[in-house]
Amino acid sequence: MPARIRSIETRVPDTVLSQDVVRDIFRTQPGVSRLAQRIIGAAFDGSAIETRHTVIAELGQAGVNATTGTPNPADADAPTFYSATDGLILNPGTGVRNDVYSREAPGLLVGAARAALDASGFEASDVTHVVTVSCTGFFAPGPDFVLVKALGLGTDTQRYHLGFMGCYGAFPALRSAAQFCAADPEAVVLVVCLELCTLHIRSSDDPDSIVASSVFADGAAAAIVTAREDGGSGPVLDLDSFSTAITTDGETDMAWTISDHGFEMVLSSYVPQIIEKSITEALAPVLGTIPGALEDPTGAVPHWAIHPGGRSILDRVQSTLALSDGQLAPSREVLRTAGNMSSGTVLFILRRILHGEDDAVGGIGAGEGIGADVDPDGGRVCAMAFGPGLTVESAAMTRRTTPRTAPRP
């Protein structure tokens, strides 16, 4: 049996950022030039994002709490990232930002993982491997260790952490999980992506920094991958094939570096053009495994999970591949309601496809609003993300609703 994604669950922080409010905060910072103000307006207004989530409660003073729906109160303590009193975006050092990562990451990490395990029909004792992914912070013992302790996994659970790969990090993690299952048919692999991108926001006139501040967000996503046939019932995603490509251009157009004041994103305006020029060739290996997909991607592949690096990227992928609005709807909906959460974003999209969610029912990350199984067995899926390099990762999957057998005693 092929390795399959048996469950995907997601979590986001409680603090919600309204895109127009955050735009105005950035635009009114001291020292921001008139040109930068125009760039900020264009970047935020053209992002196709309405809300994002952050672990920085101070930034929530410009927004609302996702759980209570009420405005967040001002923080009585000395501010670190944003002073509501002065309306100033502050500039803490990298150590301070990483301390917040170390403090806030475990809750989202464990919440998503526990929900995915519960939804899969497996027990903690079944998990043989843990693969964690993150590029927005560091601590050791790391996220993989946290999961073993918090979930009560066996101390002999094999653990792997993929760090600093960027927005395509979920694909090497899923590919590794599939390889573990091929080597050991009894394997049950927990994959978790956790990114706290907003820890690295800053006020700047630099266009790359402005664009990054307008799209990146926080979130966690977890998946259970196995070739075992027992477990709970529900739809699955067969992991059929994977592919990696490096574009001929773009090595300097997307990068992720560590500075004294956080991690700095290089995200040039040429990235959408590079992806547009390269997407057909980059996807050819996985589309070639699906009958008729090279000739007619839209007809042969009903479901598409395209990492929403930005609205322009989705527009160009849709135009180049002639995808319908419906096929891009899951990617656009995740972008609209949650922004770009780096490595975990594609799992947010795949969760919608897995459960047949055609509309925004329930809250992203809430674990609710599961739609009916509307897709027949054999519904093909193409997933894609990109990152520094410029690297393009893709996968072919098949959505199935075949009932599973009962759990083993």
Please enumerate in sequence order all residues whose Cβ is within 8 A of that of 213, keeping only pairs 6 or more positions apart, or say none.
Answer: 22, 26, 43, 201, 202, 204
- Give the active site residue among 167, 193, 197, 382: 167
Query: For residue 99, how many other CB atoms are within 10 A of its CB?
Result: 16
Of 389, 176, 397, 175, the C-alpha closest to 286 is 397
Count helices and strands in the chain by DSSP H and E runs: 11, 16
181 is catalytic: no
> 347 exposed, middle or buried (CB, 10 Å; 0-12, 13-18, 19+)?
buried
Contact of 316 with 275, CB cutoff 8 Å: yes
Contact of 22 with 44, CB cutoff 8 Å: yes
Contact of 340 with 216, CB cutoff 8 Å: yes
Distance of alpha carbon 42 from alpha carbon 34, whole angstroms: 12
| Residue 279, φ and ψ in degrees, nearest 5 | -65, -40
Which residue numbers are catalytic?
167
